Amino acid sequence: MRFFLVLSILSLLSYSCGSNSSDESTGNPSAVSDSTETPQIKEFREVNTQLKANINNPSLYLKRAKLYVKYNDLGMAIADVDRALKLDSLSPEYYLLKADLYKKQDNLKASKEALDACMIVDNNNITARIELAWLALITRDYKQAIKYADAVLKRDLHNADAYYLKGMVFEEQKDTVLAISTFSTCVEQENDYYDAYVHLGLLNFDKDLSLAKGYFKNALRIQPKSMEALYAYALACQENGDYNESIETYYAILDIEQYREPYFNLGFIHQEYLKVYDVAVDHYTKAIEVEPKYLEAYYNRGLCYEKMDQKAKAETDYRYTLKLNPQYTSAAIALERVLN
């Protein structure tokens, strides 16, 4: 299970550089006093001042393009990369940045065109080949993706990114054996390859839980507060019967972020395996506090109340479960049971 952090979007103050005027498209930065200008204004003002003095310097356009990326204006960033390319069409770095910007805009065709142009300038550019392989993978052109990755490995046999990419191809093709083998080669080349360890753990989850735990532990060695690795590790411990370790990991997750699944799983462990129903009730209740319409938490809490011979509370939870989902057969059976 993967979790993604929601990043706040910074407000954008855009500037364009013109050769005939010191006033930029959003106003004259020099008119803003040093005491009131924001960090964004200051950064753009400095690079615009440098450009005014040296308007034919491609590296300054690249510098400003990266500022636009920082403040989430990809269109303006691309425009500045194009300005840099007009002044220096032989720099692979410019094509790679342009390809990445188009990729962020989901314009895969334009991204590939930029990478192809990079390859014309530098046919041995490994980064461009890796990126072309990713584009092929995204479009499910698996044969082409492998071809690009193999071309990288011919130039650099120890390139971890190429092995990781091939592993992703094999995983998408449902070839688990080859995927595991290739991800393993990836971490042999680079011992701190977080994503490869996560995939190795997931691929081994139904095969060897002890091995899966080891891979997730390695992922946590690299990123100790990764929510996906912590959750996967906790689940592996839970499925492997290592309940104390699982409980400890779920609490570690909740110290970072409060969300419903760890509370529910803590409730399930105490209910199903440890038979400590009052503790399970507490965890299910916390899960419901986070998600008031958490149907499974109401149902399982009802089961715990029933085990504790608190039939009135069990009835309330079963009825609410059926209110949320009238087709929940198990809750209907349980309700009938406590009413008789």
DSSP string, 88-143: -TT-HHHHHHHHHHHHHTT-HHHHHHHHHHHHHH-TT-HHHHHHHHHHHHHTT-HH
The answer to the question of residue 60 being in a domain is: yes
Contact in structure between 294 and 261 (CB atoms under 8 Å): no
The answer to the question of residue 247 being in a domain is: yes
Closest CA relative to residue 132, chosen from 112, 157, 162: 112
Alpha-carbon gap, residue 170 to 146, rounded angstroms = 9
Domain end marker among 41, 61, 88: 88
Whose structure tokens read 């992703």?
168
Q: Are residues 25 and 54 in the same domain?
A: yes
Whose structure tokens read 């400003």?
64
Which residues, 6+ apart, have CB-to-CB distance to 249 below 8 Å?
A: 230, 233, 234, 237
Q: Are residues 226 and 293 in the same domain?
A: no
Domain end marker among 165, 190, 215: 190
The answer to the question of residue 160 being in a domain is: yes
Domain end marker among 88, 114, 135: 88
Q: Are residues 200 and 181 in the same domain?
A: no
Q: Are residues 81 and 115 in the same domain?
A: no
Which residues, 6+ apart, have CB-to-CB distance to 102 below 8 Å?
A: 78, 108, 110, 111, 114
Q: Are residues 16 and 29 in the same domain?
A: yes
The answer to the question of residue 1 being in a domain is: no
Domains in the chain, number? 4
The answer to the question of residue 298 being in a domain is: yes
Q: Are residues 253 and 272 in the same domain?
A: no
The answer to the question of residue 225 being in a domain is: yes
Q: Are residues 162 and 102 in the same domain?
A: yes
Whose structure tokens read 């393993």?
184
The pTM of the full predicted model, rounded to 2 decimals, is 0.81
Measured at the CA of 138, the angle between CA 228 and CA 70, to 5 degrees, comes to: 65
CATH number at residue 143: 1.25.40.10
Q: Are residues 273 and 311 in the same domain?
A: yes
The answer to the question of residue 226 being in a domain is: yes
pLDDT one digit per residue (tens) for the chain, 340 residues: 332 222 222 222 233 333 333 333 333 444 445 557 788 999 999 999 999 999 999 999 999 999 999 999 999 999 999 999 999 999 999 999 999 999 999 999 999 999 999 999 999 999 999 999 999 999 999 999 999 999 999 999 999 999 999 999 999 999 999 999 999 999 999 999 999 999 999 999 999 999 999 999 999 999 999 999 999 999 999 999 999 999 999 999 999 999 999 999 999 999 999 999 999 999 999 999 999 999 999 999 999 999 999 999 999 999 999 999 999 999 999 999 999 8
CATH number at residue 42: 1.25.40
Which residues, 6+ apart, have CB-to-CB distance to 41 below 8 Å?
A: 13, 29, 32
Q: Are residues 235 and 173 in the same domain?
A: no
Q: Are residues 139 and 95 in the same domain?
A: yes
**Residue 18 structural domain:** 9-88
